[in-house]
Amino acid sequence: MRRILIVGATSAIAEQCARIWVKDSAVALTLVGRDREKIEALRVDLAVRSPHSVIHTETLDFLDPVAIAELAKRTSLDGPLDIVLIAHGNLPTQESSEQDLSIASSTLMLNGISPVLFAEAFAGLCAIADHGTLAIIGSVAGDRGRRANYVYGSAKALVAHYAAGLQHRFAETNVKVVLIKPGPTATPMTADLQQQGRRLARAEKVAAQIVKAIDTGKPVLYTPSIWQPIMFIIKHLPQRIFIKLKV
Ligand SMILES: NC(=O)c1ccc[n+]([C@@H]2O[C@H](COP(=O)([O-])OP(=O)(O)OC[C@H]3O[C@@H](n4cnc5c(N)ncnc54)[C@H](OP(=O)(O)O)[C@@H]3O)[C@@H](O)[C@H]2O)c1
């Protein structure tokens, strides 16, 4: 049975990935979240979809390095993991981060430091086993600082920089690192955009592309794929043109 661990398993995108994994075959799945009731409800739902899968839950404080290290240590007792997906995040408005430094701080911590700590803890286990795929969800927002979301975006840029380093570290091993950069996707995180009538990608589609990228060990996934050329242009626009854009 494949062993899969999902950090931030209650995220809409992660939940769709989990549904694909349990549909494909029975798996040994660990769901990691912050809210015991929510994560338990997800466990029950997935268990009904896949009665032969073995599904555990874990809850912890996502900003506590000691708790994260202990989680990785506990997990290692059952043998090497095949897949670790790190999916949590939040998206307070840019204005709220500008007006309240505690919001800026928690945005940077949750979207930047926390995923890196989880990845680093599980990277250590993958290194020992010389096995496993670490997949981390970043964002297209990490590709270039923009006025609309530069605090969240800089946390995601930190994740991208970290993932590149991890890929370098594991280049000559059997460990794979996949950095996922979704574009705007219809999930609870983007409820405001949906209310404004913005057309967003479906979480099911994004999840299917994530699962495929994990299977093939693709180093960087833009999903939906249209975001790769869009971000190429945005990244390479000269500053004098870029600063005039309302993005
Ligand atoms: N949706 C998009 O447009 C989009 C675009 C680019 C990148 N992303 C990234 O995709 C990933 C998944 O997001 P999503 O769209 O699926 O969002 P979502 O459904 O809103 O899920 C957010 C996840 O983060 C967890 N979370 C939020 N605050 C937390 C905290 N303080 N401590 C621990 N966990 C916390 C939530 O836990 P609870 O369920 O307990 O609240 C939930 O599991 C995130 O990394 C996000 O930044 C999303």
pLDDT of 18 reads 98
Nearest CA to ligand 1 atom 25: 88
| Helices 12-24 and 36-49, packing angle to 10 deg | 30
pLDDT of 160 reads 98
Q: Atom of ligand 1 at shortest distance to CA of 86?
A: 45
pLDDT of 132 reads 98
**pLDDT single digits (tens) 101-129:** 999 999 999 999 999 999 999 999 999 99
Average pLDDT, the chain: 97
Confidence of residue 54 (pLDDT cuts 50, 70, 90): very high
The two tokens of residue 70 are 């202990």
Indicate if ligand 1 lies below 6 Å from the C-beta of 94: no
Nearest CA to ligand 1 atom 18: 11
Q: What are phi and psi of 62, to 5 degrees?
A: -70, -10
**pLDDT single digits (tens) 182-193:** 999 999 999 999
Question: Can you tell me the mean pLDDT for 203-223?
Answer: 98
**pLDDT single digits (tens) 126-184:** 999 999 999 999 999 999 999 999 999 999 999 999 999 999 999 999 999 999 999 99
CATH superfamily, domain at 2-242? NAD(P)-binding Rossmann-like Domain (3.40.50.720)
Question: Can you tell me the mean pLDDT for 51-71?
Answer: 98
Check pLDDT > 90 for residue 246.
no
Burial class (CB in 10 A: 0-12, 13-18, 19+), 16: buried
pLDDT of 61 reads 98
Check pLDDT > 90 for residue 203.
yes
Instruction: Please state whether the peptide bond connecting residue 224 to the residue before it is cis, i.e. omega within 30 degrees of 0.
Output: yes
pLDDT of 56 reads 97
Q: Report how far ligand 1's centroid is from the alpha carbon of 15 (Å).
A: 11
Closest to 230 (Cα-Cα) out of 173, 192, 182, 159: 182
Task: Report the alpha-carbon distance of residue 91 to residue 12 in Å, rounded.
Answer: 14
Cα first-last separation, the chain? 45
Q: Which residue ranges make up each domain of the chain?
A: 2-242
Q: Report how far ligand 1's centroid is from the alpha carbon of 198 (Å).
A: 19
Closest to 23 (Cα-Cα) out of 60, 47, 49, 62: 49
- Predicted TM-score (pTM) of the model is 0.98
Indicate if ligand 1 lies below 6 Å from the C-beta of 87: yes
**pLDDT single digits (tens) 2-39:** 999 999 999 999 999 999 999 989 999 999 999 999 99
Find tokens 């955009």 and name the residue: 193
pLDDT of 247 reads 86
Write the DSSP symbol of residue 141: G
pLDDT of 24 reads 86
Check pLDDT > 90 for residue 240.
yes
Task: Report the alpha-carbon distance of residue 143 to residue 156 in Å, rounded.
Answer: 8
Question: Can you tell me the mean pLDDT for 93-97?
Answer: 97
Indicate if ligand 1 lies below 6 Å from the C-beta of 202: no
